[in-house]
Amino acid sequence: MKYLDEYRDGDLAQKLAAEIHRVTTKPWTIMEVCGGQTHAIVKFGIDELLPQKITLIHGPGCPVCVTPLEVIDQALEIAARPEVIFTSFGDMLRVPGSTTDLLSVKATGGDVRIVYSPLDAVKIAAENPAREVVFFGVGFETTAPATAMAVYQAAQKGLKNFSLLISHVLVPPAIEALMSSPNCRVQAFLAAGHVCAVMGYEEYFPLVKTYRVPIVVTGFEPLDILHGILLTVQQLESGRAEVENQYVRAVSRGGNQPAQDLVKKVFKVVPRKWRGIGEIAQSGLGLSENYAAFDAARKFKVTDHHVEEPAECIAGLILQGQKKPHECPAFGTRCTPEHPFGATMVSSEGACAAYYRYRRHAAAQPWRPHERA
Amino acid sequence: MCLAIPGKVVSISGDDPLVRMGRINFSGIIKEASLAYVPEVQIGDYVIVHVGFALSKVDEAEAQKIFEYLKQMDELGDLKEGAT
Ligand code: SF4
């Protein structure tokens, strides 16, 4: 497949890795923000190609992982109502709430449906005027334009039976929160390419200036990630801290203007709690006043759930890069993708699940692309 | 959910930019995606698609650059070897 296979070429990857070895003289700690990159790094064994001096930390960039337990509980409460058709991306279905998950609600009679696109939920609402259709709007800036379009089209069509349980999150405030924490060990970031495809990378210039950290906008294929790491290390080694764009084939500095415009129209920036990290100011999107009628939490008056995370789960530390999944005592024994304690085990983009899938039988193998795909 | 992948636009329907849809070929699997956010895209272009929306058009020339860079690295390597 064009734009896919050629970026997985093992020989070229080795070449980039050799160049990284050549330029690295000091120890560096780099965080890949996006769960998609974490998945690729662990799947293709990219970290094993790197010099030992380089430590990759897996960041909070998995929306499934950072959706707070309270919101999952609200989803479960709404999904259990008889008049509701609850629609969601597939990967939210097994995320454990305090007591159960959406899949179990479905098994006990709840009308829970997996959709590929938020527009599918709008279609279901149009076809089922007697039912209440709720879409679980989670995700980063990448997903927000899709959710925004769903709300916009529902409003245009005058659909009164469509609403959103929304827990959208924004990446730059999370990077800032990580950087300003006194425990922060991260010296540079690979920024998430697809988030930047939407938002551009203007927002990173002040961060680079304030915290003196290189931020390199990076794609998702092995060659992209290695190239992103190379650019990052070159900056670190030469004492520079700049915004750089590795993923030029899909990302422009200004991003996608029509998408940003609609997101701005439908949503407003709000404070948001991140599972495992806590509340971050101005780090989420909520419906703007004009579209408040589409707010499912208001419509169904869901209660404020008080929740406690399983005491054993150290997902919070993992999301902040202070621990690796296999350092968790429950990893792979009491906590597995079949019986996840924390959300980082549920989503394939979560660090715990990625390690479980590709690293459980730890013996590092040399990288042979395609074989482990 | 965050997975966004490149695919080739094989057909386009709808004139209104907001409801313009494309059929996208991902290695033989054809799926529909909204082209509302990429008004410039034409049949034959490659787009990055995420949850049913094309988010950006893949820039052919830029896509080649990393391979040119790697090639240059090779040539430099050859030069160095030749010098010793
Ligand atoms: S392995 Fe399970 S219990 Fe441990 S941090 Fe990961 S999700 Fe939490």
Q: Is the pLDDT of residue A303 over 80?
A: no
* Model confidence pLDDT, tens digit, residues A340-361: 888 788 787 788 998 998 877 6
**What mean pLDDT comes out for the span B63-68?**
82
Alpha helices in A267-326 (DSSP H): 296-299, 315-319
How far separated are the first and last CA of chain A, in Å rounded? 14
Computed over every residue of chain B, the mean pLDDT equals 84
Provide the chain A residues 162-191 that lie in CB contact (below 8 A) with chain B: none
Instruction: Please classify residue A64 by burial: count the beta carbons closer than 10 Å to its beta carbon, then call 0-12 exposed, 13-18 middle and 19+ buried.
Output: buried
Residue A45's φ and ψ, nearest 5 degrees, are 65, 35
Q: What's the pLDDT score for residue A94?
A: 84
Ramachandran category for residue B46: left, alpha or beta (phi over 0 → left; psi -120 to 50 → alpha): beta
- Selected residue with higher pLDDT from A202 and A65: A202
Q: Which residues line ligand 1 (CB under 6 A)?
A: A 312-315, 318, 325, 328, 330-331, 335, 340-342, 344-345, 352
Residue B81's φ and ψ, nearest 5 degrees, are -60, -40
Q: Is the pLDDT of residue A24 over 70?
A: yes
Q: What's the pLDDT score for residue A130?
A: 97
User: A253: closest CA among A209, A191, A210, A211?
Assistant: A191
Q: Complex ipTM, two decimals? A: 0.84
Q: What's the pLDDT score for residue A346?
A: 79
Per-residue confidence at A296, pLDDT binned at 50, 70, 90? very high
Per-residue confidence at A373, pLDDT binned at 50, 70, 90? very low
Interface touch B37/A15, C-beta < 8 Å: no
Query: Considering just the CA atoms, what is the radius of gyration of chain A in Å?
Result: 21
> Could you say which DSSP state residue A3 is in?
T
What sign results for the dihedral spanned by CA atoms A251, A256, A259, A264? positive
User: A101: closest CA among A116, A118, A86?
Assistant: A86
Q: Which residue in A67, A117, A263 has the most chain B C-beta atoms within 10 A of its own C-beta, making it the best mutation to test that interface?
A: A117
Mean pLDDT is highest, among A337-351, A355-369, B33-47, for B33-47
Q: Is the pLDDT of residue A367 over 50?
A: no
Q: Which residues are A192's β-sheet partners?
A: A218
Per-residue confidence at A371, pLDDT binned at 50, 70, 90? very low
From the CA of A328, give the closest atom in ligand 1.
4
Query: Two tokens at B10?
Result: 């094989």
What sign results for the dihedral spanned by CA atoms B32, B37, B41, B44? negative
Per-residue confidence at A364, pLDDT binned at 50, 70, 90? very low
Residue recorded with tokens 């169904």: A300
Q: Helix or strand or coil: residue A30? A: strand
Per-residue confidence at B18, pLDDT binned at 50, 70, 90? confident
Whether the CB-CB separation of A8 and A223 falls below 8 Å is answered with yes
Longest CA span, chain B: 64
Per-residue confidence at A51, pLDDT binned at 50, 70, 90? very high
Q: Is the pLDDT of residue A310 over 90?
A: no
Q: Which residue range(s) make up the domain with B29?
A: 5-81
* Model confidence pLDDT, tens digit, residues A181-201: 887 889 999 999 999 999 999
**What mean pLDDT comes out for the span A153-159?**
96
Q: Would you list the domain boundaries of chain A?
A: 1-359
Alpha helices in A281-320 (DSSP H): 296-299, 315-319
Protein fold of A1-359: Rossmann fold (3.40.50)
CATH number at residue B56: 2.30.30.140
- Name the domain count of chain B: 1
Does A146 touch chain B if contact means CB atoms closer than 8 Å? Answer: yes
Percent of chain B with pLDDT over 90: 49
* CA-to-CA dists, residue A36 to A74, A152, A193, A218, A253, angstroms: 26, 28, 10, 11, 21
Interface touch B51/A143, C-beta < 8 Å: yes
CB atoms within 10 A of CB B15: 7
